[in-house]
């Protein structure tokens, strides 16, 4: 068959702005990068960037953008033209590019159906930067360095024109498909707000190439046909309906595009001659890029996905695709007296993990169950990523996310036992925090208040560990010590205080206070390149998620470990060792009592925060716990010191929370 990139759209009007879902480029010659489009063909096709995010009082008439693309096979160059209408342009102002008008150009030369790692170029007034995701995974785009790109920007009145040339060695020709997208950012004078335009909906595009649009490098002479189809989801709830589906070539499965599905279930596409099949890209009722609690995610089942033919000048109409929801599995277990965790067998746990891991398509899980003060179950299974299928082992690392807070809480309690830090001494007397020091209430902050999540500091107000250095001044949300407010930012402030007091880095304190006494082996408080081979990759549903690891030790979020490696911490805490009676009581005793709307776990069970832990008052005693959720990794541990049982779960999926909740029901409910 003809290569998929040789698409020609029947109904496209020459030199019009199109809302077509798939963009395509024709070959062009003699284009000079000067910000002028006079040397572009008059028949070039323009595409709207239609996803608008901004102030309610601003419209697309004030800020709009469109783009066109072409290529030169001899030069191995991709050309991009972008027209921006902007009534208030801010150019170079001596500050970061984020204080100006700027654009991001995303590119993925591999265009793999499982996702990938795009790069993006940043262009603003006399500035050009390139950003790669770290690590060795997905290095197919790492050749896109600064010297591969040129950009010119030209302004005339309220119109700004960007003109790009990017050398894509080996990826340019009429038989190629590329991942492409844009983020156009507009700032106006006298305002801190920004307005954003995207071609394809969704932020975080550099985390996964599946968020980009498709650019087809087209041959002008290829015959095509039209596809029309419909997905029958009338019986589904509106929130369960899908909005896109992939079309894959049978002859060459590496060639595929995504097409939108409208609210009625209808979709269409123009394709070159050949045989194709539909490939669902939405496997579950919950959105792909979700990480919330209690989503009740269920699995889709598709039928009527038979291959079909595209013929020249004809419209192929498919039988309706059937879509239904598969209920969550019901897992059986051995019967006994007491809580199931006290009598389930290892086979029961094996069966549960296999059933739910398969149902939720979670790449890897690491699970430990402690019973009668002993390790009853300890397995790490699955694959590091859906891309490589490399198997995990007992040393594979997962992001522990907010579980780090409990570990850090114990570090602080151990230091307080020895008088190194006073839990009730105002932190500013140890070390000031410039971003909040103008708010007089910040002088009330203590280690105890922060460990109890009553700081008043927002959660990651500047974006993540270390970002406070470039962040501005803020006011606290409430008076410290008066209300619950979960805050990683506050934990990071306390971490800096601890480093200041001790004169040691957090990794060293972790090694001294946790790793050795609690037997937490081969786990780390921050990321280094030496750990890369041991890491699993996080996933959003079936898609890998590529992001920067936390190279700054964060007491709120940066621990890397797994259930097998972490079990020493839980076993030691459950047996009330390495802490004296007084700090243990601080963990068991309510400090911040949670209101029903604030509860993180089962809303019917009394819950509170106690010096770095969440505690549930159950009928079987206090359940001490903490979860972790970085979006693409979910984890949790919980233990009962009275009954001497515990469970620890780490996953590399945003659906791990669903798995963990089901596992808790399996272990703690009849």
The average pLDDT across 259-288 equals 92
Number of alpha carbons in the 13 Å side-chain half-sphere of residue 360: 31
Backbone angles phi, psi at 382, to 5 degrees: 110, -155
Q: Where are the beta strands (DSSP E) in 204-345?
A: 213-217, 224-232, 244-249, 256-260, 266-272, 274-279, 299-303, 308-310, 315-317, 321-326
pLDDT at 3: 40
What is the average pLDDT value for the chain, to the nearest integer? 89
Given a contact cutoff of 8 angstroms between Cβ atoms, the answer to whether 366 and 563 are in contact is yes
pLDDT at 137: 64
Assign 13 a pLDDT band (cuts: 50, 70, 90). very low
Assign 565 a pLDDT band (cuts: 50, 70, 90). very high
Distance of alpha carbon 72 from alpha carbon 257, whole angstroms: 22
Given a contact cutoff of 8 angstroms between Cβ atoms, the answer to whether 591 and 583 are in contact is no
> Is the pLDDT reported for residue 400 higher than 50?
yes
DSSP conformation class of 327: P
Question: Residue-wise over 565-602: b if at least 16 C-beta within 10 A, else e?
Answer: bbbbbbbbbbeeebbeeebbebbeeebbebeeebbbbb
Assign 237 a pLDDT band (cuts: 50, 70, 90). confident
Q: Is 359 in a helix, a strand, or coil? A: helix
> Is the pLDDT reported for residue 16 higher than 50?
no
Assign 4 a pLDDT band (cuts: 50, 70, 90). very low
pLDDT at 470: 86
Residues 6+ apart with CB under 8 A from 541: 282, 283, 284, 288, 361, 653, 654, 655
Assign 504 a pLDDT band (cuts: 50, 70, 90). very high
Closest CA to 378 of 400, 353, 404: 353
Assign 61 a pLDDT band (cuts: 50, 70, 90). low
3-state secondary structure 458-526: CCCCCCCCCHHHHCCCCCCCCCCCCCCCCCHHHHHHHHHHHHHHHCCCHHHHHHHHHHCCCCCCCCECC
Domains and their CATH numbers in the chain: 17-217 (2.60.40.1190), 224-326 (2.60.40.1120)
User: Residue 166: which H helix or E strand, with range?
Assistant: strand 159-167
User: Residue 565: which H helix or E strand, with range?
Assistant: helix 563-574
3-state secondary structure 641-662: CCCCEEEEEEECCCCHHHHHHH
> Is the pLDDT reported for residue 606 higher than 90?
no
- Give 506-525 pLDDT, tens digit per residue: 999 999 999 999 999 999 99
Residues 6+ apart with CB under 8 A from 665: none
> Is the pLDDT reported for residue 238 higher than 90?
no
> Is the pLDDT reported for residue 96 higher than 70?
no
Distance of alpha carbon 606 from alpha carbon 145, whole angstroms: 54
pLDDT at 8: 34
- Give 612-657 pLDDT, tens digit per residue: 999 998 888 899 999 999 999 999 999 999 999 999 999 999 999 9
pLDDT at 15: 42
Distance of alpha carbon 514 from alpha carbon 530, whole angstroms: 21
Assign 176 a pLDDT band (cuts: 50, 70, 90). confident
- Give 108-160 pLDDT, tens digit per residue: 998 999 888 899 999 887 678 888 776 666 677 888 989 999 999 998 888 99
The average pLDDT across 452-463 equals 95
Given a contact cutoff of 8 angstroms between Cβ atoms, the answer to whether 360 and 663 are in contact is no
pLDDT at 463: 87
Given a contact cutoff of 8 angstroms between Cβ atoms, the answer to whether 267 and 316 are in contact is no
The average pLDDT across 31-42 equals 94
> Is the pLDDT reported for residue 18 higher than 50?
no
- Give 51-60 pLDDT, tens digit per residue: 888 765 445 5
> Is the pLDDT reported for residue 12 higher than 60?
no
Distance of alpha carbon 39 from alpha carbon 473, whole angstroms: 48
Q: Is 338 in a helix, a strand, or coil? A: coil
Backbone angles phi, psi at 291, to 5 degrees: -150, 25
pLDDT at 598: 75
**Residue 346 backbone zone (phi > 0: left; psi -120 to 50: alpha; other: beta):** alpha
> Is the pLDDT reported for residue 207 higher than 90?
no
β-pair type (63-72, 23-27): parallel
């Amino acid at each position: 068959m003809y290569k998929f990139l040789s698409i020609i759209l029947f109904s496209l009007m020459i030199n019009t702005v199109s809302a077509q879902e798939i963009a395509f480029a024709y070959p062009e010659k003699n284009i000079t990068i000067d910000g002028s489009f006079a040397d572009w063909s008059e028949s070039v096709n323009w595409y709207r960037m239609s996803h608008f995010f901004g102030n309610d009082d601003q419209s697309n008439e004030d800020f709009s953008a469109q783009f066109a693309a072409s290529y030169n096979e001899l030069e191995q160059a991709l050309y991009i033209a972008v027209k921006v209408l902007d009534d208030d342009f801010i150019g170079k102002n001596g500050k970061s590019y984020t204080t100006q008008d700027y654009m991001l150009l995303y590119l993925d030369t591999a265009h793999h159906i499982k996702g990938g790692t795009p790069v993006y170029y940043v262009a603003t007034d006399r500035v050009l930067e390139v950003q790669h995701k770290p690590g060795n995974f997905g290095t197919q785009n790492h050749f896109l360095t600064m010297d591969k790109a040129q950009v010119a920007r030209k302004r005339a009145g309220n119109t700004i024109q960007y003109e790009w040339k990017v050398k894509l060695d080996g990826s340019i020709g009429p038989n190629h498909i590329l991942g492409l997208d844009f983020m156009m950012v507009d700032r106006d004078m006298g305002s801190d707000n920004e307005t954003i335009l995207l071609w394809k909906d969704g932020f975080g595009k550099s985390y996964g190439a599946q968020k980009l649009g498709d650019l087809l490098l087209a041959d002008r002479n290829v015959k095509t046909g039209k596809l029309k189809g419909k997905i029958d989801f009338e019986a589904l709830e509106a929130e369960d309906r899908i909005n896109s589906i992939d079309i894959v070539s049978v002859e060459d499965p590496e060639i595929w595009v995504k097409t939108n599905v409208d609210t009625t279930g209808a979709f269409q596409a123009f394709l070159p001659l050949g045989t194709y099949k539909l490939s669902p890209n939405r496997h579950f009722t919950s959105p792909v890029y979700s990480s919330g609690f209690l989503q009740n995610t269920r699995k889709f089942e598709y039928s009527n996905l038979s291959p079909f033919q595209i013929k020249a000048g004809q419209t192929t109409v498919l039988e309706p695709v059937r879509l239904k929801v598969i209920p969550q599995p019901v897992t059986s277990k051995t019967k006994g007296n007491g809580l199931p965790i006290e009598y389930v067998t290892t086979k029961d746990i094996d069966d549960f993990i296999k059933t739910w891991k398969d149902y939720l398509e979670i790449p890897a899980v690491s699970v430990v169950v402690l019973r009668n003060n002993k390790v009853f179950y300890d397995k790490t299974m699955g694959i590091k990523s859906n891309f490589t299928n490399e198997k995990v082992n007992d040393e594979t690392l997962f992001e522990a996310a907010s579980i780090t807070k409990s570990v850090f809480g114990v570090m602080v309690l151990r230091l307080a036992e020895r008088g190194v830090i006073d839990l009730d001494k105002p932190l500013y007397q140890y070390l000031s925090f410039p971003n909040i020091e103008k708010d007089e209430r910040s002088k009330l902050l203590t280690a105890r208040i922060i460990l109890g999540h009553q700081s008043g500091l927002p959660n990651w107000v500047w974006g993540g560990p270390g970002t406070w250095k470039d962040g501005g001044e803020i006011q606290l949300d409430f008076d410290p010590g008066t209300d619950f407010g979960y805050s990683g930012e506050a934990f990071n402030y306390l971490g800096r205080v601890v480093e200041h007091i001790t004169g040691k880095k957090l990794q060293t304190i972790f090694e001294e206070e946790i790793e050795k006494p609690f037997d937490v082996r081969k786990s780390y408080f921050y990321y280094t390149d030496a750990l890369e081979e041991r890491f699993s990759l996080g996933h959003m549903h079936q898609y890998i998620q590529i992001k920067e690891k936390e190279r700054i030790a964060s007491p709120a979020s940066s621990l890397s470990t797994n259930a097998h490696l972490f079990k020493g911490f839980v076993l030691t805490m459950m047996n009330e060792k390495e802490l004296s009676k007084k700090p243990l009581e601080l963990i068991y005793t309510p400090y911040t009592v949670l209101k029903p709307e604030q509860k993180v776990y089962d809303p019917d069970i009394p819950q509170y925060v106690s010096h770095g832990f969440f505690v549930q008052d159950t009928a079987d005693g206090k359940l001490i716990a903490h979860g972790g959720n970085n979006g693409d990794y979910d984890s949790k541990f919980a233990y009962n010191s009275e009954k001497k049982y515990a469970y620890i779960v780490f996953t590399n999926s945003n659906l791990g929370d669903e798995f963990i909740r089901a596992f808790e029901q399996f272990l703690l409910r009849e």
